[in-house]
Chain A
Amino acid sequence: MAALKIKKGSTSHSAYNLRPAFSDVQEKHTLAVLVDNEPGVLARVIGLFSGRGYNIESLTVAEVDHTGHHSRITVVTTGTPQVIEQIKTQLGRIVPVHDVHDLTVEGAAVERELGLFKVTGEGEKRIEALRLAEIFRANVVDSTLESFVFEITGAPEKIDAFADLMRPLGLVEVARTGVAALSRGSA
């Protein structure tokens, strides 16, 4: 992972103790939570967020190690620095949680999301949708004479921008996966 390898449950970590802990500023953080893939583990994580009133902006989960039965949950959350610290330490308390990484403070990270967009229309609008899709490097994965389904991958902001452009061009349905994220570099 990142150079600042944070041990589970640790709080004496300079990277976040340097910031004022009780500031009112809302921050957006991407957390990678490594868990045992056992029944109920997602419910434990989600229940923590709902039970303690934390925000979930995006959530993705999948088993990433089929032999070791480990899953990776990527949560994008917002809160004051104190709330973010609480979220991390509270997650660390859950027994099947092995590691909590705050990708926002542990150095640079890549964040990607996949979106599927169904756009209907004819004539100029249809041609414009296709042209914009090319600019955004979106693929056409389904087509009829009056519709396209585009597949687009990128940072969440790019997908937001694509959605804004498609809306006047006949956007009828969107599916998004939520963010998956990894730290940059070799660690």
Chain B
Amino acid sequence: MARQMTGAKMVVQALKDQGVDTVFGYPGGAVLPIYDEIFQQNDIRHILVRHEQGAVHAAEGYARSTGKPGVALVTSGPGATNAVTGLTDALLDSIPIVVLTGQVPTFMIGSDAFQEADTVGITRPCTKHNWLVKETDRLSQTIHEAFHVATSGRPGPVLIDIPKDVQFASGDYVSPKAADTSRYQPQMKGDLAAITELVEAIEKAERPVFYTGGGVINSGPAASQLLRELVDATGIPITSTLMGLGAYPASGENWLGMLGMHGLYEANMAMHGCDLMICVGARFDDRITGLISAFSPKSKKAHIDIDPSSINKVVKTDIPIVGDVGHVLEDILKVWKARGRKINRAAVDKWQGQIDEWRKVDCLKYKQAGKVIKPQYAIQRLEELTKGHDRYVTTEVGQHQMWAAQYMGFEDPNRWMTSGGLGTMGYGFPASIGVQMAHPDSLVINVAGEASWLMNMQEMGTAVQFRLPVKQFILNNERLGMVRQWQELLHGERYSHSWSEALPDFVKLAEAFGAKGIYCDNPDDLDDAILEMINHDGPVIFDCLVEKHENCFPMIPSGKPHNEMLLGEASTQGAIEAGGAVLV
């Protein structure tokens, strides 16, 4: 029996029925009826952000750390356009979020009304799907379908644009169970013939490697468990993209570390030299492959992905398997066990020996000397002092992000939230707010650079208002470090606009918001300062002054293959040729 209610009430009811407990949002004219309904209930918490971009990143942080879809609610026009960066970020990193936008009344659409924007038009290329709901009777069905689309198959952001008159009008409410989601049903199970072909390849391989990505984490905790079982049972070394960190534990014996442009030497060399590459839920991004024509030239490549368009997009795949990572890994294990758990042990042991030789290069080596804190040292101390905690880490984008990925160890999935595909400066702080909302008792740290952090610093108001004890660990080099590094290597050391002048006093800034500020510029004081940050029950801005001209290594220069990494500050001259300079 369909229930009659207003569109605004339907929104709140549908969110409740979808199990939503938190909404990140910002009110405005076109969503006032929904805010009126939010006011009259207590099941859903609304977190008032200070900018709509913050709402979407917070929803992403919530989603990445829980595996549940994140929800943001913003008004029409500028509210919607401010959400665009977050939507694009979620699209590139396959994060399930549902964004609700208000819209001018249906009879005013197209009239250039106040705060009108063509929201579905603007967001069409940056959502997995979007809807403009013109009838209240369609609203609840649409919301339920939106949750289904956001979370099924390859997850992603969806947007529902709701005109104000649709919110006021009454209509029939349908429950999630009664809603029709039949038209979008991605394939979950992989083709068994292809899986068997992969198992045969695993049995014969002499130099196999697992190359895993965010798809393992998106598939759910069971997929990470299955991956661990498969890796440890076969003894095949494993590397991961930035997005996949934590799916296999950093302390695991087969762990190679992250691969790619700033990945570890042993990981990239293993990718280059392998004879069987098993890509699990990753997409051969350009940060991973380097020069495509010289990418892992001698390997047979298997690719497991739920999105058929990922396969053969960049790199030619020999064994394509379309399906959910969890389902496929389960079948691989089953088939491999049923065929007698065979592995080319002697060859794989020799391969492990080769990898151990590469490990000896110790590519993350650096020297902390003198009275200036090396950024790597700051991250390493942060890691040492927090790794025992129930910890979640977010990052902004740049050198600090790469150092965090290199020097921190993640033991579990959903503990590492970073903007991988889009590289959104300003992601980490609001994401940390979303994570802390989902995990109120956990230690949530945003590893930041001062420039990224300033991009969404207004969210300090949110953190203080909702008593979210997020720790903003800012590696302050008074530079746009990654831009500066590229200018040094590529643009003749002409540091065009890559320094941060007129920076705020971060301690005073924290205090101005009613939070705690900590300043540290001495390596001898660092441990105490970090402990003070951890032990403070409330939001903290930690201003960690670090070496200003440190570069992030190892590095595969643009236009170079995996085996031509730069390992340190030596011989960087002319490392990037003219052809590589056009790449980013």
Contacts and interface: CB of A to CB of B under 8 A. Distances in A.
Interface of A: 9-12, 21-22, 36, 39-40, 43-44, 47, 51, 82, 85-86, 89-90, 92-96, 98
Given A9-B187, A43-B124, A47-B125, A93 B309 contact: yes
A169 to B, nearest CB: 44
A12 B121 CA distance: 34
Contacts of A93: 307-309
Contacts of A10: 187, 308, 322
Nearest to B313: A86
Contact of B120 (A40, A82, A89): A40
A11 B322 contact: yes
* 4 residue pairs, one from A and one from B, having the closest CB atoms: A89-B309, A95-B129, A89-B308, A11-B308
Nearest to B307: A93
Contacts of A21: 312, 316
Given A51-B125, A95-B184, A12 B316 contact: no
Interface string B108-121: 00000000000011
Contacts of A51: 125
Contacts of A44: 124
Contact of B149 (A22, A40, A85, A95): A95
B128 interface: yes
B309 A92 contact: yes
Given A22-B316, A40-B120, A51-B125, A9 B311 contact: no
Contacts of A36: 183
A9 B322 contact: yes
Contacts of B132: 39-40
B361 to A, nearest CB: 33
B124 A47 contact: yes
A98 B162 CA distance: 26
A92 B308 contact: yes
A93 B184 CA distance: 9
Nearest to B148: A95
Given A39-B132, A43-B121, A12 B184 contact: no
A87 to B, nearest CB: 9
Interface string B216-230: 000000000000000
A40 B124 contact: yes
22 contacts: A9-B308, A9-B322, A10-B308, A11-B308, A11-B322, A12-B191, A21-B312, A22-B316, A36-B183, A39-B132, A40-B120, A40-B121, A43-B121, A43-B124, A85-B312, A86-B309, A86-B313, A89-B307, A92-B308, A94-B129, A95-B184, A96-B183
Contacts, number: 55
B309 A12 contact: no
A51 B121 CA distance: 13
A22 B313 CA distance: 10
A40 to B, nearest CB: 6
B363 interface: no
A82 B311 CA distance: 10
B468 to A, nearest CB: 35
B194 interface: yes
B409 interface: no
Contacts of A89: 307-309, 311
A55 B346 CA distance: 51
Query: Could you say which of B184, B308, B311 has the most chain A C-beta atoms within 10 Å of its C-beta?
Result: B308
Contacts of A47: 124-125
A35 B186 CA distance: 16
B186 A9 contact: yes
Interface string B25-52: 0000000000000000000000000000
Nearest to A48: B125
A59 B191 CA distance: 34
A143 B184 CA distance: 51
B320 interface: yes
Query: Could you say which of A10, A44, A93 has the most chain B C-beta atoms within 10 Å of its C-beta?
Result: A93
Interface in B545-568: none
A92 B308 CA distance: 9
Contact of A12 (B124, B125, B183, B322): B322
Interface in B306-365: 307-309, 311-313, 316, 320, 322
B312 A11 contact: yes
Nearest to B158: A95
A93 B153 CA distance: 10
Contacts of B313: 86
Contacts of B120: 40
Nearest to A95: B129
A21 B320 CA distance: 13
A12 B305 CA distance: 13
Contacts of A43: 121, 124
Nearest to A43: B124
A15 to B, nearest CB: 15
Given A12-B320, A96-B183, 9 more contacts: A10-B322, A11-B322, A12-B191, A12-B194, A40-B124, A47-B124, A51-B125, A90-B309, A92-B309
A53 to B, nearest CB: 13
Contacts of A12: 191, 194, 320, 322
